[in-house]
Amino acid sequence: MNTIKFESDKIYGFVEKECVAGYLPKANAAMEQVKNGTCKGNDFLGWVNLPSSITEETLNDIVETANNLRARTNVVVVIGIGGSYLGAKAVIEALSNSFAYYDNAPMKVLFAGHNIGEDYYHELVSYLADKEFGICVISKSGTTTEPAIGFRLLKELLEAKVGKEEAGKRIVAITDESKGALRTLANNEGYKTFVIPDNVGGRFSVLTPVGLLPIAIAGFDIKAFVKGAKDMEEYCLNTPDNIAVQYAACRNALNDKGYGVEVLANFNHKLHYVTEWWKQLYGESEGKDGQGIFPAGCDFTTDLHSMGQYIQDGVRMLMETVISVENPNYKVLIPTDTDNLDKLNFLAGKNVDYVNKMAELGTQLAHVDGGVPNMRIVMPNISEQTIGELLYFFELGCGISGTMCDINTFDQPGVEAYKKNMFALLDKPGYEEESKAIRAKLNK
């Protein structure tokens, strides 16, 4: 059963309850369109029923592949960009010990192909030189520039290190079912492969092997993660006015009132990359046609001493959505100190998280008083189950939200703009006209 709650009572000082209620029918209708495949961009709705449709067989195959890599290696580099990076990164960071990689963790999952950093690759290659490593390469086409460069470099290194045959056993490719450069290579070399479904875009792919395999390699329970998502799917798709509908209604109502920036804040730094994933999900889905809520992220209380001043007192265009985690997984009490110079003894014997919770409540009251409408997403703890619920909640909320605005939520035409220029500047074969044009423009 789904366990995550959504609260919106702290927005009604900024937008009337009746006004928000007026957005609910539209949000419910948008959900029906998403569910029935009648919204814009409906060739990319494969994510909607992913959690309930993934088979036990596929999950077992992923787990077995992960275990094979875990047996053969102690470092796996996941090569991917955008949704082929952020989904796995978000889940792994949420579930990991913050310091595990500084000790001799039995498995480290690193990332590459998500930047074009010459120093990054120098350092990564140096680091891997004396490690038993494997590669999980994720690319629909196999020709996306960033991951293709990363894969060339690391494949060469791995083959030189352990030979082509062993390398072939340590490389897993997640790619198109039948076409593209990576599919051809994987077939030629006999790599183990998983398929990126045609109807699932990168930013909605965390519940496909794109997210699941790296999460399993990192040692987490992907069946529990998928179950969490499935619980949320079943609840939402069968419940009018569900929490994803509510979230979409509230944020659209606020946006229409001039609150054009949404700050997603957590009080648990492990959710930092969930926020980064959310920024991609919402920014790339909604930021088009001169529209869209601008997504920004904060880790509190850290950033209360950074962005906190702005949120409290800056331009009143912000709404804030807080992810609250009710219970930590461990227990740490604040110690007593006989001298009490720091005057903290009034907190001695209390859980650290008790202070965190009062900071959270105090912040909510302060920001609302300061003119920032506040929503809350409450999860009982951080676990595979709850992260699965949370990510599906955000995906569905996004699908509803974009569909309410009558945009194609599932394309990303703007991402091509820099790529096209880059190919022209790099004189990529096939871009001869563009190369000429861009040089003319630069010489103007």
Ranges within 186-245 binding a second copy (CB under 8 A): 188, 202
Calpha distance 369→357 (Å, rounded):
18
Interface with a second copy (CB under 8 A), residue from 78, 222, 304, 404: 304
| H or E, element range at 376 | strand 374-379
| Tokens 């800056």 found at | 314
Residues 17-56 that bind a second copy (CB under 8 A): none
Q: How far is the CB of 59 from a second copy (least distance, A)?
A: 27
CB of 220 to a second copy, least distance (A): 16
| Least separation in angstroms between CB 384 and a second copy | 15
- DSSP class of residue 350 equals S
Q: Give the footprint of a second copy on residues 94-123 (CB under 8 A).
A: 97-99, 101-103, 108, 110, 114-123
Q: What is the DSSP letter of 8?
A: -
In the list 1, 71, 178, 332, the residue contacting a second copy (rule: CB under 8 A) is 332
Identify which range of 43-51, 215-223, 309-317, 388-396 contacts a second copy by CB under 8 A: 309-317
Strands 5-7 and 75-79: unpaired
From the list 419, 420, 436, 441, the catalytic residue is 419
Applying CB under 8 A, does 181 fall inside the site for a second copy?
yes
What is the separation, in whole angstroms, between the first and last Cα of the chain?
62
What's the token pair of residue 319?
């709404």
Composition of the chain by helix, strand, coil, percent to 5: 55, 15, 30
Instruction: Compare residues 38 and 415 and give the one whose CB is closer to a second copy.
Output: 415
In whole angstroms, what is the distance from residue 198 CA to residue 200 CA? 6
Which of 10, 151, 134, 152 lies closest to 71 in space, CA to CA? 134
Amino acid letter, residue 241: D
Question: Residue 112 or residue 248: which is nearer to a second copy going by CB?
Answer: 112
Residue 271 CB, nearest approach to a second copy (Å): 11
Considering only residues 355-414, where is the footprint of a second copy by CB under 8 A? 355-356, 358-359, 361-363, 365-367, 369-370, 382, 412-414
Nearest approach in angstroms of CB 125 to a second copy is: 7
For the bound state, the minimum distance from the C-beta of residue 360 to a second copy, rounded and expressed in Å, comes to 9
Stretch that binds a second copy, among 11-19, 29-37, 238-246, 289-297 (CB under 8 A): 289-297
Lay out the site mask for a second copy across 253-282 (x = CB under 8 A, - = otherwise).
-------xx-----xxxx-----x--xx--
**Residue number with CB closer to a second copy (1 or 341):** 341
Q: Does 433 sit near a second copy (CB under 8 A)?
A: no
233, 276, 284, 389: the catalytic one is 284
Q: Which is nearer to a second copy, 18 or 130 (CB)?
A: 130
Look up 367 and say whether it is catalytic: no
Cα distance between residue 40 and residue 399, in whole Å: 10
The residue among 235 and 259 lying less far from a second copy, judged by its C-beta, is: 259
> Does 292 engage in binding with a second copy (CB under 8 A)?
yes
Candidates 105, 315, 86, 304; CA nearest to 206 is 86
Contacts of 317 (CB under 8 A, 6+ apart): 258, 259, 260, 261
Q: Among 7, 40, 351, 380, which residue sits at the site for a second copy (rule: CB under 8 A)?
A: 351
CA 233 to CA 227: how far, in whole Å?
10
299 φ, ψ to 5°? -105, 115
ω before 301 within 30° of 0 (cis)?
Answer: yes
The yes-or-no answer on residue 230 being catalytic is no
Max CA-CA distance within the chain?
77
Helices 56-72 & 209-217 angle (0-180, nearest 10):
40
- Asked if residue 296 binds a second copy (CB under 8 A), the reply is yes
Q: How far is the CB of 364 from a second copy (least distance, A)?
A: 9
Contact residues for 437 (Cβ-Cβ < 8 A; gap 6+): 424
Pick the stretch among 8-16, 51-59, 177-185, 387-395 that binds a second copy (CB under 8 A): 177-185
Which H/E stretch holds residue 407? none
Task: Verify whether residue 305 is a known catalytic residue.
Answer: yes
Q: Does 284 participate in binding a second copy (rule CB under 8 A)?
A: yes
Q: Name the packing angle between helices 222-237 and 56-72 (round to 10°).
A: 150
The answer to the question of residue 426 lying near a second copy (CB under 8 A) is: yes
Report the catalytic residues.
Answer: 284, 305, 419
